[in-house]
Amino acid sequence: MKTALLLIDIQNDYFENGTMTLVGSRKACDNAKLLLNRFREQHLPIIHIQHIATKPSATFFLPNTTGAEIHEKVKPMENEKLIIKHYPNSFRETELLNYLQSNEISDLVICGMMTHMCVDATTRAAKDFGFNCTLIADACATKNLEVLGQTVKAEEVQKSFLAALNYFYSTLMVAEEYLQN
């Protein structure tokens, strides 16, 4: 059993003054940094996922912008894997699956942004590919959503998506709990 940390889209546009500010992005980033520090200390595999928009109608993660850069608190080090993606699912049209398999990684500790989109899509795909997933709830962030003319507050979106991913798709933990293991 080999475990890797997967940090999904912790990029500047999701923070205050970004073009797609999320609720709780700062706290989620701080908790992701705690996980990142632990994985670095233990010399465990770390994979950073960076979304670069390719659709002409995109409003965030635009190529060659500060907003698309990985947040300074969790920037990859030279020896850490960086994978660029263009879809919510981090496995789609990327080298992620091949990288995990070639490095005999069986378990993923997942955190990042947005919980309801890229974290959800990637966690479900990882489980479908046979990986054991631990999702760090307080190292993820999302935003308010609109459905049928109503606003669903970010806190409810977060709880709903985490609840849906808990049990079958992942083991849900908070950073402090994971770091005590």
Domain interval for residue 82? 3-179
116-127 pLDDT, tens digit each: 999 999 999 999
134-166 pLDDT, tens digit each: 999 999 999 999 999 999 999 999 999 999 999
pLDDT of residue 13: 98
Domains in the chain, number? 1
Question: Is residue 181 pLDDT above 90, yes or no?
Answer: no
45-91 pLDDT, tens digit each: 999 999 999 999 999 999 999 999 999 999 999 999 999 999 999 99
User: Terminal CA-to-CA distance of the chain, rounded, Å?
Assistant: 16
pLDDT of residue 170: 98
Question: Is residue 174 pLDDT above 90, yes or no?
Answer: yes
CB 131 within 8 A of CB 29: no
pLDDT of residue 47: 98
pLDDT of residue 14: 98
Average pLDDT, integer, range 23-43: 98
**pLDDT band per the 50, 70, 90 thresholds, residue 1:** confident
CATH code of the domain covering residue 168 = 3.40.50.850
